[in-house]
Amino acid sequence: MQKVAFIGLGVMGYPMAGHLAKAGHEVWVYNRTQTKAQAWQQEYHGQVANTPKQAAQHADIILLCVGNDDDLRQVMLGEEGVVAGLSPKKIVVDHTTTSARVAREMAEICAFHQVSFYDAPVSGGQAGAQNGQLTVMLGGDPQAFAVVQQTIAAFAKFSKLLGPVGNGQLAKMMNQICIAGIVQGLAEALHFGQQAEMDCAAVIEVISQGAAQSWQMQNRYQSMLQGHYEFGFAVDWMRKDLGIALDEARANGSTLALTALVDQFYADVQKQGGNRWDTSSLLARLKHN
């Protein structure tokens, strides 16, 4: 078992850290809102750190899951940041969805302290985190990957090292690009069916057995038909992720015409007050229009 620190107890980090504790690891947690950390401690019986530095000092592997690039820099750097608590041979694993640029920046800083850094964004959403069924895409040094993989197996059903630091984030961008197009296609199909007065549930029962099948279709069509979006992966988060992908596309010269379009469709959903709605709420935009 490992001595593990987990920084960031949001909707993803809270259950991820819980799975680590249930797997028998010695877990220290830090969260900016200390009441959340104390609630986690009561539930999982780990230790609460007062600062990211203190959490890092007590651990061999430090895992993070915060909000964005700025949040990552805030908890990593400074007198009370994770870096201040590092010593040689420790490992930092960042599960935040960030830019590849900041991942490489953090890796350079960790390397100076003889610490391995992995960018390790996840896919599977809140349900995947709660059920310990996340998919993790990683970038980093192969040398310590076996240790990382064994540790994150507490909450991951699948993980893979995809190359150097930054490649995990690039893979997550590809993941979100795929999801954006699939959800828009599903939303348009359901909208079309409703306008044509079809029994959409019956149609989905048929076409989900063929080439149109997708995770989004299987897991979201019912709530979309019900107009239920108060759950899941929030539109605000998706726009953050798509913004990262679009920035990277401008840098590497790729063309993401569909992604850019769907990003603007999500902006329309935000104007409807759907900032915290699930990403499947693209159907609500079509109904509104």
Where in the sequence numbering do the catalytic residues fall?
172
Give 82: exposed, middle or buried? Use CB within 10 Å, 0-12, 13-18, 19+.
buried
Query: In the 3-class helix/strand/coil scheme, how is the chain assigned residue by residue?
Result: CCEEEEECCCCCHHHHHHHHHHCCCEEEEECCCHHHHHHHHHHHCCEECCCHHHHHHCCCEEEECCCCHHHHHHHHCCCCCHHHHCCCCCEEEECCCCCHHHHHHHHHHHHHCCCEEEECCEECHHHHHHHCCEEEEEECCHHHHHHHHHHHCCCEEEEEECCCCCHHHHHHHHHHHHHHHHHHHHHHHHHHHHHCCCCHHHHHHHHCCCCCCCHHHHHHHHHHHHCCCCCCCEHHHHHHHHHHHHHHHHHHCCCCHHHHHHHHHHHHHHHCCCCCCEHHHHHHHHHHC
First to last CA, the chain: 54
